[in-house]
Structure 1
C-alpha cells in the first residue's frame, strides 16, 4: 500500500485509505488533502510522487499548480481590503482604478468583477497567450475594452481575466502587487505554502503537473446560428489562455509559468496551504489566530449575484461575491455536482480537480491538490469529499 504521510483523526481513516488506493491504482501520481473542522486540523495528509517516473516523492513541502483554485485566495485578498482598507464592493471599479471607466465601464462595480458578471470575461482579439505575460500591458487592454453584456445581468466565468482584474484592483488600493499582498497577509502569518509567482529557490518543490489529455475541441456553431450567449462564450474562449498556449504540459512545467503572477490561475500550493487560508471563512474570519475577516464581510460572500446558465460554462452556476455558492436545495447541475446543498457553502476549483470548499454552516474547510489532472466527472475530488462527509 502507498505510504500516506501526515496526520488524521481516526474517524477519517477511510479518506487516507482512499488516497492510498488511488495512488496504488495509478489514478493519482501525488496529492494532498486537508480538512479543518471548527478551527482544528483533522486531516493533513499527502502521498505519492511529484512525477510519473516515481523519482521524487511528494513531500510535506511539495507545491503544485492549482490553476483556478488560485481565485479563492485572490478573492479573499479583496474581501480583506473591504475590512481593512474600506474598499466598497458596491462602488464602481473606476473609483479605485480610473482608467477602467473607458467605454462605459464606469458602471462596472467591484462586486461585478468578483462575481464574473462584469462583461469583461476575455481579451478582445487578437489575443495570444504570450500577451498575458506582460501584466501591465494586458491589464491596460482590459481597461480600454467595452463590456460584452450589461454588467450584473448575467455571468460568463472570467477564466483568464479574473487574476489580472483583481490584481490591478488590489494594486490600486494597496500599492502592492497581488503577489506581495498574498505573501505578506496570508502566506507568511499563516505559515501557508502558497506562492503566486514561485521563488526560484523553491522550483525544486514543485510537482510536475499532468494536464488533462482531451480530444479535439468541438466545432463552433455557425455564426448565423449563434445566440448572444454562444457569441460571448466563443469570444471569452478566444480571448482566454485555453487554446492559445501551445502544449499545456510544456507550458505548465516551465520556469516561465512558475514565475507568473496570474491571480486567477498560476498559484502554487498544497492542500494545507490552501486550506489554512480559506479556513478563515469557516472560523469566523480567523485562521491560526490571525484575524482576516469580520463576520459581516463573510456574509457578503453569500449575497447572490447571479444564478443561472453561465455563458462560459454553459451550465448553471450560482455566484456570490468572490466565490461560487452551493445551491440551497440541489447542486446536481452545478460544476461540482457532488457538493452538498447548503445555505452557506462557498467554493471554487481548478482545472484537473484541485479545490477549496468552505462550509460555513458546519465550520468545515476542505482542500485538495494533486498533479494528475482529470476532466469533468472523472475528477477525484468528489470521492474524497464524499468520504469526508460520510464519516463526520
Structure 2
C-alpha cells in the first residue's frame, strides 16, 4: 500500500515512529521520509505515503523532493569548507573575490554579512525575467546591480532564495567550480549523500512533486503573509513572488543550480551530509571550523524579511522559538541549543547537533503552513530529543 510506512527504526525511537505514522493518519501527510543517526550510526530510516498524488505511486526508499531552503545549509557548508582551507575569509570584503559586486552601496559588504543574511539583498525590485532563477549568470548580474535594501551589516533579513546566489557565487569564484559541482565533489560524493544542487537526468524518475499548501478556515496569517499578499512593494512580496515564474516541479528548475531553494534530497540524504558534522570527525571541516559553524553569529527581535525574531549561525539556522507570537507556530523550529541546520519552506528540516552526536532530517512533498517547521516535523524532532534523554524545550531549545 502507498500509505504504508517502511524502513527501519531502533526500538529506542519507537515514539518517533509512532509520530511519523500519526502524521499520515491525523496531520495531512502525503509522502515523507525521516532519518537520524547518533554518533554515526543510523537509528531511524523511515519513509511512507504517496510520492505522486497524480499517479498514486508510493514514496520509495530512493524518492527525493525539493527541500527548498534546506539547500542553504548545503551552500553554506561549501563556503565553510573553503574558509577552513584558508581560501575564503569571513572578514574579507566580497569585492576581494567578486569585484563586480562592489557598487550601488554594496562596496563594504563582507563575506560574513552574506552568511548572516545581512548583505541587504533579500529580494529584487525589478521583475525577474521568465525562467530567470534557472539562469545562474543572469541572477548573478541581478545581484551585482541591485541596490541594498538597507546599509549592509546594520541589520539582518532572511535572504529567501538570493542566499544561494550571493554565497554560491563566492563558492564559484573561489573554487573555480560551479556551486553544484563543488557540492557534488566535496560533500555529496565523500559522504554518499543523495543530495543535488542541480539534478542529473538519471534521478528524474525518483522525484516526488511538491504539493503547495492550501489555506484552511481558521488559519491565522503571519505578518509576513499579510504583507506578501497586500503590499507588492514590500520585501515580503518581492522575496517570495518576484521569481520569474519559478516552479519547484519544473524539470528545468531541477537541473538548475538554485543554492537558496532548489536542492533535491530526502531525509537519508541530508543525514548523510550532517553526520560528519554531528560526529565532529574532521572529514568535511576541522573541529575549530565546526565549532564556529554552530555559534550564533546574528540574532534579532525583528528580522527584516520574516518580521519575527530569528537566530542564525554563519549560513545556518539555530533553534528559533516564536511560539509566544501570533501565528508563531508557523515561524518556529526548535532543536537542541548546540544544533545548527536549516528548514525548508513547508516544513522540511535537516540539522546536526554535536552535543549529542545527532544528525536529523525530515522531508515531505505536502507543504504545510508557514516558512519554518510545522507540527509534523516538530513532533519528530521532539520525539528524537526525548529518546536521547532531553528533558524539555520550554527554554526555546531542547535541554537535558
If the TM-score is normalised by the length of the shorter chain, which range does it land in?
0.7 to 0.9
SS at match of 2:102: helix
- The corresponding residue for 1:277 is 273
Mean Cα deviation higher: 332-341 or 146-155: 332-341
Q: TM-score, normalised by structure 1?
A: 0.87
- The corresponding residue for 1:174 is 175
Change (3 A) 1:66 1:201: same
Say yes or no: does 1:96 pair with 2:97: yes
Mean Cα deviation higher: 24-33 or 348-357: 24-33
Contact 2:279-2:357 within 8 A present in 1 as well: yes
- The corresponding residue for 1:62 is 63
Deviation string, structure 1 residues 30-83 (Cα, Å, up to 9, x no partner):
111111212221111111121225632211111100011111111111001111
Cα separation, 1, equivalents of 2:27 and 2:313? 37
Contact 1:171-1:178 within 8 A present in 2 as well: yes
Cα separation, 2, equivalents of 1:240 and 1:338? 21
Quote the RMSD (CA, aligned, Å): 2.6
SS at match of 1:367: strand
Deviation string, structure 1 residues 177-213 (Cα, Å, up to 9, x no partner):
0010111111122111101121122111001210112
Say yes or no: does 1:373 pair with 2:367: yes
- The corresponding residue for 2:343 is 349
Change (3 A) 1:285 1:71: farther
Say yes or no: does 1:218 pair with 2:226: yes
Contact 2:75-2:259 within 8 A present in 1 as well: yes
- The corresponding residue for 1:308 is 301
| Displacement of 1:238 | 4.3
- The corresponding residue for 2:397 is none
- The corresponding residue for 1:319 is 312
Matches for 1:196-207 after TM superposition, within 5 Å: 196-207=197-208
Task: Give ranges in structure 2 of 5+ residues lacking alignment.
Answer: 389-400
| Displacement of 1:282 | 1.6
SS at match of 1:103: coil
Change (3 A) 1:157 1:313: same
| Displacement of 1:360 | 2.4
Change (3 A) 1:219 1:33: closer
- The corresponding residue for 2:131 is 130
- The corresponding residue for 1:161 is 162
Cα separation, 2, equivalents of 1:258 and 1:134? 12
- The corresponding residue for 1:142 is 143
| Displacement of 1:324 | 1.9
| Displacement of 1:309 | 1.1
Cα separation, 1, equivalents of 2:296 and 2:24? 39
- The corresponding residue for 2:82 is 81
Change (3 A) 1:313 1:234: farther
- The corresponding residue for 1:361 is 355
- The corresponding residue for 1:193 is 194
| Displacement of 1:164 | 1.1
- The corresponding residue for 1:226 is none
SS at match of 2:69: helix
- The corresponding residue for 1:292 is 284
Mean Cα deviation higher: 119-128 or 184-193: 119-128
SS at match of 1:318: strand
Change (3 A) 1:351 1:76: same
Say yes or no: does 1:236 pair with 2:235: yes
Change (3 A) 1:167 1:340: closer
| Displacement of 1:105 | 1.9
Task: Give ranges in structure 1 of 5+ residues lacking alignment.
Answer: 224-232
SS at match of 2:107: helix
Deviation string, structure 1 residues 283-302 (Cα, Å, up to 9, x no partner):
1154xxxx101111112221
- The corresponding residue for 2:391 is none
| Displacement of 1:234 | 4.6
Contact 2:227-2:236 within 8 A present in 1 as well: no
SS at match of 2:384: helix
Cα separation, 1, equivalents of 2:229 and 2:28? 35
